[in-house]
A and B are shown apart, each in its own frame.
Chain A
């Protein structure tokens, strides 16, 4: 082990600790923001309720409370014949607690306040104060509204800037170490940057008057457990990465240390575009949205999905039924794509065939047309009354089929469309591989008296395998998630029976607005594909005589 590797071994845990500390600070901030919000809301609501019950008599008492900036009572009456239009008249108000003089702007500017409190509820103001409005029932549609606004209740700053500074500093430190300048020159500067970030952060937040409780609450008023889960995932990911990195570096000096700097932008991109949304999705799957807020529901979405709550285990829209349809859909499609593609490739590979280029172009056309256009065209062709397919059946003397009324007909329509879309890929792959098989193998086989079938079975197929297996695996993943065809051709008809897992997830989220449930559903799809990935990885490796051929399987 070189000195450098040892140094990296030392520094990697340091960076990990830095990351963990930064994320910990974030979680702590979020936790305290939540607590602050809860306490302040309870406090200001309590005061407003008290005031609403006391009426104007409570004004003096409130004026003496140093936490209250002002309090007012207004009467709200319905305006005209519209239950949702109203007038508001202020009947009492406190005085400024500190200056002891009549506060207002409130009466001159009552409309601004009144508008803010026209709905009951608690608002957090940008300056850190809290304002509550409570309605008390009155006579004849008249209702009084009590309004309380507190003095600013110290907002909690979010260490965003500090966090950014820390991360950059950590990265710089890491680069510095790799380049064998531990602490020299850079270190004091880094320390300065870190402390500047830490000091300026709360100050900056204060000056910008950013609403502390609204920054960082990516999931609205999310629960602590959700925050903890996110934190665990966020810590685990860089730690794993660093662990891998440290292990690699520990095993010997790497000549590629620059490579890490080069891939860093891509890693950041991957993190922002893949890792973060993924973590977000996982967290979301433990929540449910209710009235604009996210509520923690634990694993209940998973339980509902896996136990098929509310429906039979084996009917459309249950996870198991949909999974079975998806698997069947994948198998049938891949089998058809491969066999048709291979058969056509064998025909096209015949050396005696004329106009080969023309056929090749024509056969690739289905692939060149955008899949949703193809899908819509096929959907039209499957129309019961006016579609081409039923028209052709009529010419053959067969009865027209209502393609989307029964499961098998709709499934067949989907499969037909996707086969049309899918075989050209297999054709191209097989054709390329076929052309790389040396002709002398066939000549030798002919000399030995092998039949055509024996040649195909013992020469063509084994030599196609390295190219075909990765293509099949790739095709299976594409088909598994083939959203366009299912959504546009059958649209899940009849009654969601032909929906596959991804189209169902889409419906759950964007048609039924059940984001949490759909997120859990998507996580389960991920698990299924992960399992499939492990299985196929094996298959890909078994079949890897050359690195190029196995590449597609990973």
Chain B
């Protein structure tokens, strides 16, 4: 018996050896070539993508599109594992902040030669800039995300144009009812602090080098500004986590919230709120500029069907598809011509974010950026929440991330 097992194993070994020589090319029986797209869309966004893919297939006898939903958190790991071995998708949808990383690791196909300037003109400039890395373009923008100012129209009827107006309106709401708070966001998060950092003239990086610049005097002033809202003016509720902010705002106990388009999902069934662009910083006259996040379609360097993949990418980002993505899935699309349509202009929510895009700073897509979040979070926590000197705290964070 065991000899038979041994023989079977030996035969298996020989067969494995032989397999290498004669393994047939594993292609589907369908004569059409297949373009594989990975995405993490759900609900209406997924339905829209599916119908767009069906539209793309129509009229093409030689191509079919296969959509593979992959959980958002799992997608980067799957990509970095699959693409270098030639197993990944032809194209995929992801946020732009990993583009630098992936371009350096040769996961992405450069698009600088394929995209004509007149095609590029259809996107809001900042959304395209966000997808560049090392004088090369790496993707086409689908939609954007950034922070803006939500307000309870009962507590604050007017959108504040400046930070002084914001402070005044928040103060009025707070003085009328002590259980009402003025304004809230996640104080110790760099993502939420960025509007003020930029509004005071600061920046995360000094230039193309990975040298941090957020510990500049402007950075310290932005921290001092936020701290004054928290301690001296007592406008911000203690420990404003996103859960607390949401529940306060829903209960009408909070006049202003700094948050992104996703916050609308939390406000289902709540009326009496509006969105406007973030105010101009009164001290500097500059607009508070949040980070811009871009959801992009990216072509794999190891795509089997590169031309078809690019064709599909261009199809998904053209104006007709963008109109559909906005109308059916509510995406804040990157196409300026869609922003000009009457449907878009009639949507106050979308309009506010489209206005805000004009004053944003693309979140850096360089690999080093991922090291910045935690040290800056610690510094903001120390300076804003626990009252440490802003310059010292930021200096320590800069020291920690200096390459």
Give chain A's interface residues, CB within 8 Å of chain B.
79-88, 111, 114-115, 118-119, 160-162, 164-169, 171-173, 175-176, 178-179, 181, 185-186, 189-190, 192-194, 196-201, 203-205, 207-208, 214, 261, 291-292, 310, 380, 383-386, 402, 404-405, 493-496, 507, 511-514
Contact = CB atoms under 8 A, between A and B. Distances in A.
Contacts of A84: 112, 132, 135-137
A136 to B, nearest CB: 15
Nearest to A165: B13
Contacts of A214: 84-85
A81 B13 contact: no
19 contacts: A82-B117, A83-B132, A84-B132, A161-B17, A161-B19, A164-B16, A165-B14, A169-B10, A172-B9, A175-B2, A193-B17, A196-B17, A199-B17, A200-B18, A201-B17, A494-B381, A495-B378, A496-B378, A512-B373
Interface residues of B, number: 62
B190 to A, nearest CB: 12
B114 interface: yes
A194 B13 CA distance: 8
Given A176-B3, A204-B21, A85 B120 contact: yes
B113 interface: yes
Contacts of A207: 20-22
Interface in B114-157: 114-118, 120-121, 128, 132, 134-137
Interface string B61-97: 0000000000000000000000011000000000000
A405 B101 CA distance: 35
- From DSSP, what is the main secondary structure of chain A's interface residues? helix
B370 A175 contact: no
B5 interface: yes
A189 B19 contact: no
B346 interface: no
B237 interface: yes
Contact of A186 (B6, B120, B136): B6
A118 B239 contact: no
Interface in B203-233: none
B21 A200 contact: yes
Given A82-B128, A208-B23, 7 more contacts: A80-B117, A84-B112, A84-B135, A167-B13, A186-B10, A197-B14, A207-B22
A386 B244 CA distance: 9
B378 A291 contact: no
Task: List the 3 shortest-distance A-B pairs measured between CB atoms, nearest first.
Answer: A204-B20, A80-B117, A292-B105
Contacts of B18: 196, 200
A496 B382 CA distance: 11
Contacts of B386: 405, 494-495
Contacts of B20: 160-161, 200-201, 203-205, 207-208
Contacts of B399: 310
B239 A384 contact: yes
Contacts of B244: 383, 385-386
A26 to B, nearest CB: 16
B179 to A, nearest CB: 10
Contacts of B385: 405
B19 A385 contact: no
A192 B109 contact: no
A179 B371 CA distance: 58
B282 interface: no
B4 to A, nearest CB: 10
Contact of B110 (A115, A179, A493): A115
Given A164-B16, A176-B3, A204-B20, A86 B84 contact: no
Contacts of B44: none
B310 to A, nearest CB: 9
Nearest to B18: A200
Nearest to B136: A84
A385 B178 CA distance: 13
A180 to B, nearest CB: 10
Contacts of B115: 85
B14 A192 contact: yes
Contacts of B7: 172, 185-186, 189
Contact of A513 (B9, B85, B121, B367): B367
B45 interface: no
B140 to A, nearest CB: 12
A181 B3 contact: yes
A385 B238 contact: yes
Interface in B302-336: 306
Contacts of B116: 79, 85
A167 B21 CA distance: 19
Given A201-B20, A208-B20, A512-B374, A82 B137 contact: yes
Given A119-B136, A494-B381, A495-B381, A162 B17 contact: yes
Contact of A404 (B17, B118, B121, B239): B239
B186 interface: no
A81 B117 contact: yes
Contacts of A494: 381-382, 386
A513 B371 contact: yes
Contacts of A193: 10-11, 13-14, 17
A85 B386 CA distance: 47
B16 to A, nearest CB: 5
B382 A83 contact: no
Contacts of B374: 507, 511-512
B341 to A, nearest CB: 25
Nearest to B188: A493
Contacts of B241: 383
B394 to A, nearest CB: 14
A204 to B, nearest CB: 2
